[in-house]
Chain A
């Protein structure tokens, strides 16, 4: 993804509009990376790969390796999506995260689930996961650049673990909150707020709304 963030004029909030927050799913509301590393995934001939290729590809997927070449669609990219989809279904919810979203709903917030997942393919399983874990939401959006999305839609709060969003949110008027993880250790200076419990986000967001 480009390190630049388009800066659209934010949409004017509708008078009397509800406060709105955007929330990521993977590694924010669930344990996707842990699931990706540890979920038992046996060989299956329907992957249309030899067993050695399957094992090699699976090892790369577990390391979160992207497609290495310039081609968009390859055997590996298709396999990687299939494994990710397994993990979308199998990932465990973060209980305090689910409680947080339910609290937002009770407080009258508009909740936008905002994910990098390819919702063209993963919409059904994503919606099923949210419903199975009773995660309330108003809208489901996919965006790689969530800062541009939030700015365009006038959403001032984003909960997300992605370093790109953490690094760029402050400069574009989006307050980002992120669950602190090892990958955040070397981030450049930013104004996002790291948390260990969603209770912290609740207090920050409550203060910002008052």
Chain B
């Protein structure tokens, strides 16, 4: 198996088994039949407004089929997205997007301010994130050694996002220029997917590279090395996550009720 597929499988360990969204330039009933040849169903499909990019939400896929799709993902043939567990996850993601309809891929000053502030805030809390360029901004990821209830992850991310948007506000900029979503979101955990690392951006066809602490975009090989390091060395323990949460003003772990 390609080591990159293994990394993506490790990253995906708490996502919902058997459920993926595939983003592909291929379409048509024969292609759909190919996608489902090993079992599974199409929950829904989508023709996007970007060229002829299609998205397919597939459910009840066998594990071997998902592994094959991951191989296609690292080969750049398609993008695979996975769905968060509705109760608890070991991955969290803050998506910072340009909130404009037009020129939505432009890197606006508010974005730079927010992603820098978010990265600093998380690092200061002991939670060095992986920052990946997306089409309309950045995805800021953290990974834990065991699943944490979604409500707790969401509370942590809201606190971090508030600090990032405060930095935008204090710089005299309008925070509404940005859209910040945090996943898993307790309100919509079952409908939002996370595009896995190593994807090719739909509009630009550019690899979604990692950005270094100084904002420098890394090339594809360096990005994969950084992702491997993120998986192997930057995974937070539960204790470290709780400490990070408290440092952002969160309370102690929720008691079991």
Say yes or no: A139-B45 contact (C-beta < 8 A), given A72-B104, A152-B52, A153-B29.
yes
Q: Is A144 an interface residue (CB 8 A)?
A: yes
Interface contact B44-A14, CB-CB below 8 Å? no
Closest Cβ of chain B to A85, distance in Å, is: 12
How big is the B interface, by class? 20 to 34
The verdict on B203 contacting chain A, using a C-beta distance below 8 Å, is no
- Complex Cα gap A20–B32 (Å): 15
Which positions 120-146 of chain A face chain B at CB distance < 8 Å? 120-121, 123, 139-145
Q: A70-B100, A70-B101, A139-B42 are in contact. Are A11 and B49 (CB under 8 A)?
A: no
- Residues of A near B102 (CB, < 8 A) are 70
Task: Tell me, in angstroms, the Cα distance from A105 to B64 when the chains sit together.
Answer: 33
Chain A interface residue count, CB cutoff 8 Å, equals 29
Interface residues of A in 129-184 (CB under 8 A from B): 139-145, 148-149, 152-154
In the complex, whether A92 has a CB less than 8 A from a CB of chain B is no
Query: Which residues in B have their C-beta under 8 angstroms from that of A139?
Result: 32, 42, 44-45
The chain A residue with its CB closest to the CB of B27 is A152
Decide yes or no whether A203 CB sits under 8 A from chain B.
Answer: no
> Is A186's beta carbon under 8 Å from chain B?
no
Question: Does any Cβ of A come within 8 Å of B105's Cβ?
Answer: no
Measured between beta carbons, the chain A residues less than 8 angstroms from B191 are 120-121, 123
A-side interface residues toward B, CB under 8 Å?
Answer: 1, 6, 8, 11, 14, 17, 20, 70-74, 110, 119-121, 123, 139-145, 148-149, 152-154
| 7 closest Cβ pairs, A-B complex | A11-B28, A143-B47, A140-B44, A119-B44, A141-B45, A149-B47, A73-B179
Asked if B51 is at the interface of the complex by the 8 Å CB criterion, the answer is yes
A145 to B53, CA, bound (A): 12
Residue of A nearest to B104 (CB): A72
Nearest chain A residue, comparing its CB with the CB of B136: A72
Contacts of A1 in B (CB 8 A): 49
Q: Identify 20 new A-B residue pairs, CB closer than 8 A, beyond the known A119-B44, A142-B47.
A: A11-B27, A14-B30, A20-B29, A70-B101, A70-B102, A71-B99, A72-B179, A120-B191, A121-B188, A121-B191, A123-B43, A123-B44, A139-B44, A142-B45, A144-B49, A148-B47, A148-B52, A149-B47, A152-B27, A153-B28
CB <8 Å contact, A6 and B179: no
